[in-house]
Structure 1
């Protein structure tokens, strides 16, 4: 097994091969930022030139280069990474049958499904009526604490987004894609932050509805739709061809709103989270 810089190089090579073959990255943003800023410090890792398994607290990331799939290497890495007890979650970025089969063999069960929804920017956007007493403005340096407070309240039950803290926010602001004009704030006349829409422009052609958050105290006023449309107009003005977003598959209300704004979902655009209990019942 590899360690240190050689392991990081191997991980990046496997990620590149997976992106080219599968069209998706086997690591999500949180794992990517962790590697970029902290390397493999504090991460259980099993890495060679064929694949890798990373155990970050209760999260497991596993990928095998397409050229070495079907050789049993994924199961070998999975056994190494899951030998120690404890609850674990793992994502399949794309609803791949092989990932589901491996998850079952390692004692994981299907827990959540996350949809990717997409809309072309050539589709006209509907008009958004104003919300009384609310204005939309860009993010400023003094808004960090208020944004994090609204984010924590809005995503109190969300296992990933609700955990965003000052350090995580700073890491994302340091990314090349960050644009203060793309973090749109809904502010009450008295200055109180009610919600925000954080957009992300990946490249010249692709934008993302990164985070839409509305304070629980301000829900029911139409702020979610107002903020979503403001962000979509911002991304469209930047010349992107397509905008995508992620939404929980069982969030029917959010899906209906996004569908009303021209977003659609293809079955292949589904990410699945698997979970292992503290004391899993592992099939033979």
Structure 2
């Protein structure tokens, strides 16, 4: 009998509890919860394969690792054209070995950077003519415009559309006050969308700056205002995800006290 979405989520939850890192990303979880018909699932109670579009996920329960189940799940996958991608959430040596043996190339690194809330730098003064406020209904079109422009070359974030925005804003963690926006008249110039995962953990979810406003310090402004918002709601630690080759963003976050451990590297493999 085929695995249900509920069984897939249970396996993913159990794996996260052991590994300390979620094996499925947010977009995958949203698809499973809201559009399960878009997902192809195979496997059994030991682990599963999951294909959504051209993104593959393979997840094996801890007690069933080391016996070739990951390879079996990969070989049981439906037709995977060149360009199919798969993430290893954590730079897992077993995943790297499987990818190499099956002809997949290491193509991206996504870093997790972290810092405690204690000792945050002060937020800079808001420049004259700039209005900073939380999200309000009616901001959606400008938010999507700036997001598309800021992430035009980002394969996941840049594709965010109205439906995806509504989906994320329907999640229990969303609060309008945690989506910091910076305006010049009726034009949105920058935003920082924060995410509170728990009472103690917060995230720099998305920081976007309109390319026409680059160089005005607005990215640093909204980032710091968002960090102070997370501090005000009581979190103790903050993390973020950043592309490993995005040197300007890495430097910005390092300057704000974020650091990275070697284990905090997510790797994307692409079928060649």
User: What band does the TM-score fall into relative to the shorter chain?
Assistant: over 0.9
Query: Residue 7 of structure 1 contacts residue 47 of structure 1 at CA under 8 Å; is this kept in 2?
Result: no
The alignment partner of 1:151 has SS state of helix
Unaligned runs of 5+ in 1: 278-284
Q: How does 1:262-281 map to 2 (within 5 A)?
A: 262-277=257-272
Mapped to 2, the partners of 1:15 and 1:84 lie a distance apart of: 22
Query: Residue 31 of structure 2 contacts residue 38 of structure 2 at CA under 8 Å; is this kept in 1?
Result: no
Deviations 1:57-97 (A, max 9, x none): 11101110001001111100011115443420100000010
The alignment partner of 1:158 has SS state of coil
Which of 230, 233, 252 aligns to 2:228? It is: 233
Structure 2 length as normaliser, TM-score?
Answer: 0.97
Mapped to 1, the partners of 2:82 and 2:108 lie a distance apart of: 19
Aligned to 1:56: 52
CA 48–239 in structure 1, closer or farther in 2 if over 3 Å, else same: same
Mapped to 2, the partners of 1:233 and 1:171 lie a distance apart of: 26
Mapped to 2, the partners of 1:268 and 1:216 lie a distance apart of: 32
CA 106–140 in structure 1, closer or farther in 2 if over 3 Å, else same: same
Aligned to 1:15: 12
The answer to whether residue 220 in structure 2 is matched with residue 214 in structure 1 is no
Deviations 1:173-223 (A, max 9, x none): 0000000000010000x2211111000000100000000000011111001
Q: Which deviates more from structure 2 when the two are superposed, residues 13-22 or residues 174-183?
A: 13-22
Which of 179, 184, 195 aligns to 1:200? It is: 195
Aligned to 1:31: 28
After TM superposition, give the deviation of residue 103 of structure 1 in Å: 1.2
Mapped to 2, the partners of 1:221 and 1:242 lie a distance apart of: 28
CA 30–38 in structure 1, closer or farther in 2 if over 3 Å, else same: same
Mapped to 2, the partners of 1:235 and 1:72 lie a distance apart of: 43
Structure 1 length as normaliser, TM-score?
Answer: 0.93
Mapped to 2, the partners of 1:106 and 1:79 lie a distance apart of: 9
The answer to whether residue 69 in structure 2 is matched with residue 69 in structure 1 is no
Deviations 1:3-52 (A, max 9, x none): 3xx4223212211221111101110000000000012x132221210111
Mapped to 1, the partners of 2:265 and 2:254 lie a distance apart of: 16
Deviations 1:143-202 (A, max 9, x none): 0111001000100000000000011100100000000000010000x2211111000000
Q: How does 1:145-160 map to 2 (within 5 A)?
A: 145-160=141-156
CA 117–84 in structure 1, closer or farther in 2 if over 3 Å, else same: closer
Mapped to 1, the partners of 2:20 and 2:80 lie a distance apart of: 32
Runs of 4+ off more than 6 Å: none
Aligned to 1:247: 242
Q: How does 1:117-196 map to 2 (within 5 A)?
A: 117-188=113-184, 190-196=185-191
Unaligned runs of 5+ in 2: none
- Note the aligned Cα RMSD (angstroms): 1.2
CA 236–98 in structure 1, closer or farther in 2 if over 3 Å, else same: same
